[in-house]
Structure 1
Amino acid sequence: MLTVNTVNTTTKMVTGKTKAAAVVTIKAGTKVIGTGTADSKGNYKATIKVQKKGTTLQVSVKDKAGNVSAARAVKVV
């Protein structure tokens, strides 16, 4: 389970929900631009630099067991 809230051209913090204590990784292309760890309720936040409109970010999550999700594509609006 991975949800990502809207990312726009002024966003400096990507937020959403996933499994508790999971590590979220955000990439622009192949470059990691942010990571964050979900709290006990599954809420996460990861600091990123402001991105240009139309940029596609790939957001993936790794749970405590080491399982990595398929990346979710999020377009900057």
Structure 2
Amino acid sequence: MEGRAMGRLFGELVATLSSPDVVGEIIWQAANETGDRLRLRTGQDAHPILEDRKIREDATFTGGLKNLMGS
């Protein structure tokens, strides 16, 4: 991936990142959980992406990510 594309992607993502405390709490919960879940939402910034993923076909979702990165 081109450096400028990564810069655009991370620039947009950094604006809404969860705090290290929130991420740490989720990691702690995952490490101490007795269930078999493989994925946990880490902060409010993950919710829109994961909700979008649920309703889109693979090609549409990945195409949207590629557009975001300018590919």
- Report the TM range for the smaller structure's normalisation: under 0.3
Q: TM-score, normalising length from structure 1? A: 0.24
Which structure has more strand as a fraction of its residues? 1
Task: With a CA cutoff of 8 Å and minimum separation of 6, indicate the structure with the bigger relative contact order.
Answer: 2
Q: TM-score, normalising length from structure 2? A: 0.25
